[in-house]
Amino acid sequence: MTKIIGVDLGGTKILARMVDPTTGESKGRVKRPTPKTGPADVLAKVADVVDELDPDRQCEAVGIGVPGLVTQSGVVTLCPNINGWDSPVDVASILSERLDRTVAVGNDVNVGALAEHRVGAGRGFSDMATVFVGTGVGGGLVLNDRLVAGDRGMAGEIGHVTTHVGGRTCGCGGKGHMEAYAGRAGLEAEARRRHAAGDENELVRLAGEGRIKSSFIEKAIKANDPVTLELIDEAVEALAISIGSMATLLDLPMVVLGGGVVDRLGQDFLDRIHSSPSFGGFGSHVCELRLAQRLDDAGVVGAAILAADAST
């Protein structure tokens, strides 16, 4: 199998590796800071990174994962985490011309789902979903062995399904979305709100003025901090409702969970979600939950798989 260049374009860094999309093995590694001066400079830097990684043109195709909304043809319509990206940019066309290679572009969380599907915890399942619980909650869907990106490239956004009618305000402005309960930022906001209201808790004590990191959540659980335990109960319920409902709606045999919060809380956290009475639906009890296997490299590996899929 020919190697393919996988690029993980993030808000702070650009990472590229040469990936074998059938095994997920990578070689070479170039990493540069993401320019803060707008998309033209960002794409020029991506091209430089590819040139540096593969000066002899061993790879004919390039896959790129982007933290934004991507259309089927590779136009990035929205990319709030990269400075100055204030209108749609046809990343696929611009880079395929500049690099003289086939270029595929996908959402970073979606390509992460592809990595789990092909060379991670989802091997052997034609239908599966991934749920990444970090600062927010993102997700990706693979049905019939293919990524489902959606009409506007927004499919898989399970963090924004409603689990608590009229509940907490989400980062997106909606009410009662799962992410407001299960995401690290939602948990932090609620812990600080309670702390300010006199309901002191270990999370705020550990973090002080700083961010409430996933490691603090782990510590506060181990210390049996009552507020933390209550917030985690709510997170488990929000994940159970939304994942159970997704498994019902899509008849999924398996869902992979990953991201900073899940990496910290591990299999116990998955078991609590799975055994929750809120993990309801129709046949959802047979839907297995597994920990993600591809951690830091899901972006580059998934991007390369996206490019390999696009050329078959």
Rounded to a whole number of angstroms, the CA Rg of the chain reads 20
Starting from the edge strand earliest in sequence, which strands make up the sheet with 4-9, in order? 26-33, 13-19, 4-9, 61-66, 102-107
Name the residue nearer to a second copy (CB basis): 149 or 270. 149
Burial class (CB in 10 A: 0-12, 13-18, 19+), 309: middle
| In the complex, least distance from residue 95 CB atom to a second copy, rounded to whole angstroms | 24
**In angstroms, rounded to a whole number, what is the distance separating the alpha carbons of residues 108 and 140?**
9
Name the residue nearer to a second copy (CB basis): 108 or 225. 108
27-31: long-range contacts at Cβ-Cβ below 8 A with a sequence spacing of 24 or more?
27/3, 28/53, 28/54, 29/53
Which of helix, strand or coil describes residue 264?
Answer: helix
Structure tokens, 227: 């507020």
Residues in the chain: 312
Name the residue nearer to a second copy (CB basis): 7 or 246. 246
Distance of CA 38 to the CA centre of its chain: 23
| In the complex, least distance from residue 2 CB atom to a second copy, rounded to whole angstroms | 26
| In the complex, least distance from residue 70 CB atom to a second copy, rounded to whole angstroms | 12
| In the complex, least distance from residue 277 CB atom to a second copy, rounded to whole angstroms | 7
Name the residue nearer to a second copy (CB basis): 95 or 232. 232
Name the residue nearer to a second copy (CB basis): 16 or 137. 137
Which of helix, strand or coil describes residue 258?
Answer: strand
Starting from the edge strand earliest in sequence, which strands make up the sheet with 137-143, in order? 146-148, 137-143, 128-133, 254-258, 288-291
Name the residue nearer to a second copy (CB basis): 190 or 225. 190
Name the residue nearer to a second copy (CB basis): 166 or 210. 166
| In the complex, least distance from residue 81 CB atom to a second copy, rounded to whole angstroms | 16
**In angstroms, rounded to a whole number, what is the distance separating the alpha carbons of residues 70 and 36?**
20
**In angstroms, rounded to a whole number, what is the distance separating the alpha carbons of residues 215 and 105?**
33
| In the complex, least distance from residue 265 CB atom to a second copy, rounded to whole angstroms | 22
| In the complex, least distance from residue 147 CB atom to a second copy, rounded to whole angstroms | 10
Query: Interface with a second copy by CB under 8 A: which residues?
Result: 126-127, 141, 143-144, 146, 148-166, 172, 174-177, 237, 241-242, 244-246, 248-253, 277-278, 280-283
